[in-house]
Amino acid sequence: MHLTIAVRDSSLADLPHIDRIRSHPLVRPHQFQISSNCVSSWEKWIELNARSGDFWFRCSTIVDDEQVIGYISQTLNFTRTCVFAECGWNLHPTYWGRGIMKLALGQILLRLFNEQKMSYVIADCFRSNTRCKRLLSNLHFSRVNVRWIERMRLAIDYRCLHWIERYRIDHGTWNAKYLRTQARWRSNTAVILRP
């Protein structure tokens, strides 16, 4: 069956659906603990859709016929020395394994590199998350080191005892590899980015 999925900016009305996906028993084991404080920060960020100091938090919702099926969060960092983004994502299990996240993330990366001129994009996942690691490898991310001090911070901030792996893709790698390989991907799913 052919499927057309859209990716658009998240709205406040999406948040309960996003929260339900994050709390799904098959999704939750792959998540950092989210505090209630964090949920209200999301509301504020999405409502204002604005840059605050060196940071700009954004979220994109993935919809199938207007039904929320997933999301991709993006924290853009504009520091004096480097401009980069951190991304996180989840998809409802009903939609796993159809290449949806690969295509949706591809669209978001395109925007981060070409419109926001990010130098690189990073994403963290638990070492046990083979599906996510396969996704990252398909998108040409490479594993990078996480310093011990950063591991300690993540463990304390998120009360997380999982071993974290960090992956990164640079603008140059994206240009060289992704744009060439995406033409070869076969999928009966189309993903469009809505302005």
Ligand X SMILES: CC(C)(COP(=O)(O)OP(=O)(O)OC[C@H]1O[C@@H](n2cnc3c(N)ncnc32)[C@H](O)[C@@H]1OP(=O)(O)O)[C@@H](O)C(=O)NCCC(=O)NCCS
CB of residue 99 to ligand X, shortest distance in Å:
4
d(CA 149, CA 113): 29
Q: Are 87 and 73 in contact (CB under 8 A)?
A: yes
Helix (H) or strand (E) holding 23: helix 15-23
Q: Which of 59, 100, 108, 112 binds ligand X (CB under 6 A)?
A: 100
User: Would you say 78 or 158 has its CB closer to ligand X?
Assistant: 158
d(CA 116, CA 110): 9
Q: Which of 44, 51, 127, 131 binds ligand X (CB under 6 A)?
A: 131
| Listed residue (25, 27, 83, 86) closest to 54, CA to CA | 83
Residue type at 166? R
Per CB under 6 A, does 134 bind ligand X? yes
Per CB under 6 A, does 94 bind ligand X? no
DSSP secondary structure code for residue 90 in this structure: E
Q: Which of 132, 165, 166, 167 binds ligand X (CB under 6 A)?
A: 132
Per CB under 6 A, does 129 bind ligand X? yes
Per CB under 6 A, does 119 bind ligand X? no
Residues that bind ligand X (CB under 6 A): 27, 30, 89-91, 96-102, 125, 129-132, 134-135, 138
